[in-house]
Amino acid sequence: LALLVVALMGSGQPLAPGTRAPPVQRARLPDGRLADLQFDGRPTVVNIWATWCPPCVAELPDLVEAQRSWGDRVKLVGLATESDRDQVLALIERFAIPYQVAEIDGRTAALWNATSLPSTYLVDGTGTVVWSARGQVDREVLDRELAKLPPASLPRPVKPR
């Protein structure tokens, strides 16, 4: 079954820059509650992945490191599709994932045109896709794409009092 899904997902292009980011509907947190995944004015990295996808799992350490580096200035959301809930929870624990992870169905992945996994999108503060990639990405690539955003779109780090 997994091979069939991979074969079917191997065509098409990710969302093009300038496209309005689609809503994340019917997303559930690993505990089963509905997730609230609203764009909140910050740049947001959306990573659509699956537990059975080796490149998806391989990029998790880079995503964790990136989120820790960015802090609250950039939001990162992991959307697991076609994955076993227990395996999602195990990977969250194994990699100490600090960002929100939710489970989505194939229909939601299709709205994002996530035809290959992993698929990663950078959404600016207005909810517009400004960059997308299919396949494994690393922190260097993400940092480079974030650096292209206008400085005004990146909130300043909060200074300790």
Domain range enclosing 90:
2-151
Alpha helices in 28-158 (DSSP H): 54-70, 85-94, 106-111, 139-147
Tell whether 104 is covered by a domain.
yes
How much is the average pLDDT of 41-61?
97
Reported as a single tens digit per residue, the pLDDT across 140-152 is: 999 999 999 887 6
Mean pLDDT, rounded, of the chain:
87
Q: What is the C-alpha separation between 13 and 27, in angstroms, rounded?
A: 23
Tell whether 160 is covered by a domain.
no
Q: What is the C-alpha separation between 129 and 15, in angstroms, rounded?
A: 7
Cβ pair 42, 127 in contact under 8 A:
no
Under the banding of pLDDT at 50, 70 and 90, the label for residue 33 is confident
Pairing of strands 75-81, 100-104: parallel
How much is the average pLDDT of 44-62?
98
Tally of structural domains, the chain? 1
Reported as a single tens digit per residue, the pLDDT across 103-153 is: 999 999 999 999 999 999 999 999 999 999 999 999 999 999 999 988 766
CATH number of the domain bearing residue 81: 3.40.30.10
Query: Percent helix, strand, coil in the chain (nearest 5)?
Result: 35, 20, 45
Under the banding of pLDDT at 50, 70 and 90, the label for residue 157 is low
Tell whether 156 is covered by a domain.
no
Confidence at residue 4, expressed as pLDDT on a 0 to 100 scale = 37
Q: What is the C-alpha separation between 14 and 132, in angstroms, rounded?
A: 6
Sign, CA dihedral 48-54-55-58, equals positive
Tell whether 157 is covered by a domain.
no
Reported as a single tens digit per residue, the pLDDT across 2-11 is: 433 443 444 5
Q: What is the C-alpha separation between 56 and 118, in angstroms, rounded?
A: 5
Tell whether 92 is covered by a domain.
yes
Tell whether 158 is covered by a domain.
no
Tell whether 161 is covered by a domain.
no
How much is the average pLDDT of 76-97?
96
